[in-house]
């Protein structure tokens, strides 16, 4: 049985993790994207992001990143936007995290962006809220 057929069989039986492994070995990026959509339907965003990333599906990564951002799943949104190097979406997400007081996520985002003014803005917010550990970083 070849790897492609094995992946199809795993998928048919609902073993998405096994299907991903088989499709990686077979080098089938289209099937990886399909498995990513299945993970997304089940609400397994981190698994979907990994499948999209390996499958090279930037559109899928952008879509799931936006969905995660709307749902408040900031860590998953960060992973998706980092995978496609979307500075605009990361900046938007960072601003939202900052507005909602999610300072750890905002720090993670702004530390990878080239614009250091956002880090300064974050530090000012940290000082105002008494979060001196983040302000020192």
Query: How many of the other CB atoms lie within 10 Å of CB of 64?
Result: 27
pLDDT for residue 5: 79
Between vectors from CA 20 to CA 14 and to CA 21, what angle results, nearest 5°? Answer: 115
Global pTM value: 0.83
Which domains are delineated in the chain?
Answer: 1-84 (1.25.40), 86-137 (no CATH)
Q: Which residues of the chain have pLDDT under 50?
A: none
pLDDT for residue 131: 61
pLDDT for residue 132: 52
Render pLDDT for 17-56 as a digit per residue (tens, 0 to 9).
899 998 888 888 999 999 999 999 999 999 999 999 999 9
């Amino acid at each position: 049985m070849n790897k492609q057929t094995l992946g199809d069989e795993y998928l048919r039986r609902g073993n998405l993790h096994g299907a991903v492994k088989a499709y990686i070995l077979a080098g089938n990026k289209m099937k990886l994207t399909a498995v990513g959509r299945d993970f997304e339907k089940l609400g397994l965003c981190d698994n979907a992001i990994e499948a999209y990333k390996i499958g090279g599906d930037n559109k899928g990564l952008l879509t799931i990143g936006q969905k995660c951002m709307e749902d408040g799943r900031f860590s998953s949104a960060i992973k998706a936007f980092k995978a496609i190097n979307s500075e605009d979406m990361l900046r938007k997400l960072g601003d939202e995290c900052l507005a909602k007081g999610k300072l750890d996520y905002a720090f993670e985002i702004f530390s990878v962006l080239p614009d250091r003014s956002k880090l300064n803005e974050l530090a000012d917010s940290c000082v105002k809220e008494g979060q001196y550990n983040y302000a020192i970083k």
